[in-house]
Structure 1
Amino acid sequence: MEPPRHLAQPNKRFLGDDGSPDPLVRAALAAVGDQVSYSRAVVALCASRLLMPIVASGDETDHPDPDRHAEMAAVTLRDGGTTHLLAFTGMDALRAWQSDARPVPCHLDELAASVQPAGATELLLDLAGPSPFVLGGDLLAAIADGQRLVEFEDGAFAWVKQAQDGE
């Protein structure tokens, strides 16, 4: 799957980003053990920069070909009957999975919106560790729709969506 054009272009939002993972996100993912900690991990991810890997695909030949061209594609992984779109919380996790993959920085809602066009049903974060994490179903659909999960001081969770211009 070719990444959405806007994700494949350089983006000023991430100028100066060195690909380091957000330690709060990593801690939240590592702490997942029940529904509350899973929801807290989603809250952390909603406010974080993530990396979608893209790899060369296309004309594969065993000999030099001046007409050969490669295209960059987002990566999906099929596990049983489920297809996952891959993403990572930092360059270290991406390199642990595949050192030659190119990172495309993006936010969780952009990744979530890319899952279905990629032919996937779930988003799989940090496949090679340190703490793999899966998003799917209604939760993924809400995030793809631009909603963010937030946690209130009393521990309650709610979905919020930023109003678009003209709303």
Structure 2
Amino acid sequence: MHPTARQFATQVQEVHGFEPSIEEFPEGTKTADDAAAAIGCDVAQIVKSIVMRVGDETVLVLTSGANRVDETALGAEFGVEADAVRSATASEVKDATGWSIGGVPPTCHATACPVLADPTFDASDEIWAAAGTPEAVFRLTPETLRTLADPRFVDVFE
């Protein structure tokens, strides 16, 4: 197992008492479509970890692989205009989460940024999220996502 995926497994076990079953795919799981194809699941079952800047705040948005973040709705959720919402840069992602783009898990972050989640996850029995690298994922349920990430489920998606 890649050392970064192992680091995630250790952290989530220590912090939450959850032992993830991590699967690695050498062909990569960088995009939701790539992840779904590698895993053999529907793209809607992929948890995309999108790190956004909303005004002066960094926010992690967990969206279904079938959806996109609606920047206007996200801004409204935080009381800012859409032009104050943007994707975080690679360094902002790393600073806020401790993980690099493509491998950001839904939990065990470097900072306590707000976490929002897509309500459509409840339509699936199992979902898949990044486990620290662009090649590593782990299976979880929507209920486990609630436990691990403590997100606010809101509809800020297209």
TM-score (norm 1): 0.27
More strand by proportion, 1 or 2? 1
Q: Which has the larger radius of gyration?
A: 1
More helix by proportion, 1 or 2? 2
